[in-house]
Chains A and B, each alone.
Chain A
Amino acid sequence: MPRRVPVLENILGANDRLADENRARLDQACVLGINLMASPGAGKTSLIERTVRALAGKLRLAVIDGDIATSLDADRATAAGATAIQINTGGECHLDAVMVQGALQQLDLFHLDLLIVENVGNLICPAAFRLGTHHNVLIASVPEGDDKPYKYPGMYRGVDVLLINKVDLLPYVAFDMGRFQRGVELLNPGVATFAVSCRTGEGLSAWLSWVEAAVAGRLMDTKGPQSSTASQ
């Protein structure tokens, strides 16, 4: 007779443990980590270019670029003024904590303030794999349609910040902002949302302020006068 053995173990637990290690490395070096996710073409690289150009004089930035092939995105981040590390996933549809750990080893974390990880363009898989970053940020874009929160609930549920990019196209595209936002609220009530256009620059100052505040908060946490050995 077979015997039933209880297990109750999360299947992605091994990835979670490595993500915790990545988080500890970032915390030790006082670096704020952002995991930037979106479908292909939503504007991840454009947002990174904008963010790097705007903040390069104030913050020390690095970008980890995940792509199935090519270093096109890392080249754009480098041109904008960031240190960029390319990860070619060789077909994998998402970054995981192991890949990010390898990239972190190539960075001088103690001379950085902000690390942006550009995930593989995909609205499904990246949501399931924690990387160890502090914030999950999703870019939606107007041409994708207002039904995406309903169709990709896992992704919309797991983010702290949502950017709606390409709002300059709203007059030309059948995109019902109310319907979109109702879907977001259903899955992720109260998520911080910024409507932006990386082409025109509209709305980006609010996003940049959020990034700067998040970095400042991180520095306060770890470098402030009250800093202790406690870790989260």
Chain B
Amino acid sequence: MHELAVTQSVLEIVLRHARQAGGARVSAIHLVVGQLSSIVDDSVAYYWESVARDTPAEGARLHFRRIPARFRCEACGREFPLQEETRDCPGCANGLVRLIAGDEFSVESIEVDADGVPPSGPAGG
């Protein structure tokens, strides 16, 4: 339940990059969220409305790109998704595997309007 703090952090990053890019308004935000990062999209979206109010990012649409957890076998190099209850590589049954994807949590990109005109039409939410 720390999505409020996380959402405030998203806003801070978004506004800083929008300013640097000379964008007057932010119309969309693309987030990357790994399967193991324990972030609830709906909660972030819920807090976003109130956190972004009266800022240049008000009304910006949030897009979540989910990254499934993936592992790589240290022995045979095979890559495979998170399995229910086994540690072993499905290819060679080796037990030494490493996580290679699934813990991401970042702002990937934003879409900005330079002219200061609010995005036309309903801006989501």
Contact = CB atoms under 8 A, between A and B. Distances in A.
Partners in one complex: yes
Contacts of B99: 157, 187
B103 to A, nearest CB: 7
Which of the listed residues B6, B38, B69, B83 has the most CB atoms from chain A within 10 Å of its own CB?
Answer: B38
B110 interface: yes
A125 B5 CA distance: 12
Interface in B61-109: 69, 71, 82-87, 95-99, 103, 105-109
Interface stretch (A6-14, A56-64, A209-217): A6-14
Interface stretch (A72-80, A178-186, A193-201): A178-186
A6 B13 CA distance: 12
A183 B87 contact: yes
Given A12-B9, A93-B2, A179-B85, A5 B38 contact: no
B90 to A, nearest CB: 12
B113 interface: yes
Interface string A1-25: 0111111111111110000000000
A10 B106 contact: yes
A185 B95 CA distance: 8
Interface residues of A, number: 34
Which of the listed residues A9, A124, A187 has the most CB atoms from chain B within 10 Å of its own CB?
Answer: A9
A93 to B, nearest CB: 5
B57 interface: no
Which of the listed residues A5, A15, A187 has the most CB atoms from chain B within 10 Å of its own CB?
Answer: A5
Main secondary structure of the interface of B (DSSP, over half): mixed
Contacts of A179: 85
A102 interface: no
Contact of B112 (A5, A9, A128): A5
A93 B1 contact: yes
A189 interface: yes
A187 B119 CA distance: 44
Interface string A115-134: 00000000011011100000
Given A9-B13, A12-B9, A2 B2 contact: no
B109 A154 contact: no
Interface in B3-45: 5-6, 9-10, 12-14, 17-18, 21, 23, 27-28, 31, 36-38
Interface of B: 1-2, 5-6, 9-10, 12-14, 17-18, 21, 23, 27-28, 31, 36-38, 69, 71, 82-87, 95-99, 103, 105-114, 119
Given A6-B109, A8-B108, A12-B105, 12 more contacts: A2-B113, A5-B17, A5-B21, A7-B13, A11-B105, A11-B106, A14-B12, A93-B2, A125-B38, A128-B37, A129-B2, A154-B36
7 contacts: A3-B113, A7-B109, A14-B9, A157-B103, A182-B86, A185-B95, A189-B87
